[in-house]
Structure 1
Amino acid sequence: MADEPEEGPKLNVPVGMFEDIEDLKAKLAHLTAQVEALTGSDSADPGEASADDEATADEEAADEEDEWQYPPFILLLDPPQYDSELRALIEWVEGVLVPGYLAEPSADARWCHLWVEHPVAVARLHALWLAWQELTDPATCGYTGPSVWHRDHLDPCMRELRAPSGPLQGCTKGEHQINHRMPSLVPSAWKIEGA
């Protein structure tokens, strides 16, 4: 019986802890890959880099930038790129967001089927979509990304968009209205009366 290993103590480990550990492992692997890409080498000490290594690292970084660029915010795009990005946004909003997350519109939770005509709605929904793209990829954010997206992005965005005083405030079921609230002109203190 001396050859048999002793049984270790019974540990009461919460099931969620294993998911957290896997999430941390994924984040560590991602950060390690980023560090290796930025340093251009995974085994060289910092003082051992040569000019050739630095040139190779610069080329790899340039190639990586060409391969992946973060999508720009939609309001910063000019017409051909704006139209393309808007089409992709419409596909996501109409295919994912509306059927999955929007209940029947009401006075307290408005929605406009012509939301693309509301610039503030387009801007907020595009920001929401960018966050969704990043936070639903387990390779970049682990398994908690969707929860973060719901808590930090979806819920606040929907509260602002669908609020009675939000950008869709003039729209009711079956009626579309864009309320552009421009600030009124403030009389100048420097204006000379009668001039």
Structure 2
Amino acid sequence: MADEPDEDPDLAVPIGMFKDIEDLKAKIAHLTAQVTALTGRGGGEPGEASAADGEEGEGEAGGEPEDEDEWQYPPFILLLESPLYDDELRALIEWVEGVLVPGYLAEPSADARWCHLWFEHTVAIARLHAVWLAWQELTDPVSCGYTGPSAWHRDHLDPALAQLRGSSGPFSGCTKGEHQIGHRLPSVVPSAWSHTEA
């Protein structure tokens, strides 16, 4: 027949491909173990895949979480209530004061403001928490490779610090020795939805 090939195709698989497949399997097992540890469904150490993990993946059609109402990943800090909020804020303060302030913040100035009581500014808490969550993810070479820190600086840290430390940021009323948390509270803004035609 004219549609059949003249000779059988070469189905030999390069030996290096088997190594690549085994590497991918190991990475998938590691990521599965991390997800299990983060979601609280497993009892093993991070990085250890159990036999039950493989069985669950085969048995569950969609792989959906058991309880959809429960947070599966660290939630945004402003959505937390005490005592979870207090615990998350305490951890954030440790990171900001231990990593961010000594490593990235120079002496405050008119062009680069900073408030030593930053944790009393809700906007600062929100932005710094988002930066911290990204830092936790993007500084792990297993999950993001070696370019994660560069992406963290470019996409998260630099824009957040520009917003926080700018002349119109949440620290704009704070100067050395003075702290103001109410200086940026907006007044009532007229809304098109609340106006009725006369």
Q: Please list, as runs of the form range in 1=range in 2, the aligned pairs for 1:4-43 lying within 5 A after superposition.
A: 30=27
The percentage of counterpart residues that share the same residue type is 64
Superposition deviation, residue 62 in structure 1? 5.6
TM, length-normalised to structure 2: 0.64
RCO higher in structure (CA 8 A, sep ≥6): 1
Residue of structure 2 aligned with 1:190, choices 168, 185, 196: 196
Q: Which runs of 5+ in 1 are unaligned?
A: 1-25, 39-52
Q: Which runs of 5+ in 2 are unaligned?
A: 1-22, 36-54
Residue correspondences, number: 150
TM alignment of 1:96-175, pairs within 5 A: 96-175=99-178
Q: Which has more helix, going by share of residues?
A: 1
Normalising by structure 1, we get a TM-score of 0.65
Are the equivalent residues in 2 in contact too, given 1:27–1:141 (CA < 8 A)?
no
Superposition deviation, residue 173 in structure 1: 1.2
Go from structure 1 to structure 2 and tell me whether the alpha carbon gap of 1:189 and 1:73 turns closer, same or farther (over 3 Å shift): closer
Q: Is 1:70 aligned to 2:73, yes or no?
A: yes
Deviations 1:84-131 (A, max 9, x none): 000000000000000000000000000000001100000000000000
SS in 2 for 1:171: coil
SS at match of 1:79: coil
Aligned match of 2:60: 58
Structure 1 pair 27–172 and aligned structure 2 pair: CA distance change class (3 A): farther
Q: Once superposed, what is the RMSD of the aligned Cα atoms?
A: 3.5
